[in-house]
Amino acid sequence: MIFFAIYFMLYHLVAEISRKVYERGLTVGNGGNVSVRAGEYMRITPKKSGFKTLADLSPYEIIRVPIDNPEHPRASSESKMHAEIYRRTNRKAVIHAHPPIACSKLHKGIIFRVPDPEGRYHDVPFIKYYPPGSRELARAVAEAIDDLGVVLMLNHGVVVAGNSLREALIKLELVELGARL
């Protein structure tokens, strides 16, 4: 019974963090995706259609996907990218979002520095544009992700990875803060 409770908590946590990403204005529309790793599987947000946002997801909509075979018909189109990060790093959580100020600067070709939780500023890697959901994007992001766990994607957004979903959320907030400064 304890195993089931812990197992189900992951679905609630992904839905909760997804809601926070949207409500804090770190992504707009139906963009963005969130995942957490548990063993050889990840729990990831589903594909969204129409006017459904990250804030609208319930724990029952979160998809369990094997990391070694992330293509699931209902999983986020970026599930390959999340899985590739998990395969290449020891990170436990990934968020992909479109923070408006950061994306605006990236679209204009302005690369900015990102603070860490201690207030030190870092240059972060950025990658050129690759089609969303492509294996090329998944590979490029996983290869570029740095010690800070942040990658800027030209004309696409931001990916952050952490040891927990809360850590990844804080990193995403710091990216937007860095873009504002």
Residues recognised as catalytic: 78
How many other CB atoms sit within 10 Å of the CB of residue 28?
A: 15
Q: Is 25 left (phi over 0), alpha (psi -120 to 50) or beta?
A: left
Judge contact between 6 and 46, C-beta under 8 A. no
Residue 40: DSSP 8-state:
T
Residue 52: DSSP 8-state:
-
116 three-state secondary structure: coil
Strands 150-153 and 126-127: parallel
Closest by Cα among 95, 115, 125 to 180 = 115
Q: Residue written as tokens 């490029």?
A: 140
Angle at the Cα of 88 from the Cα atoms of 131 and 57, rounded to 5 degrees? 60
Question: CA 12 → CA 9, 45, 90, 100, distances in Å?
Answer: 5, 11, 22, 26
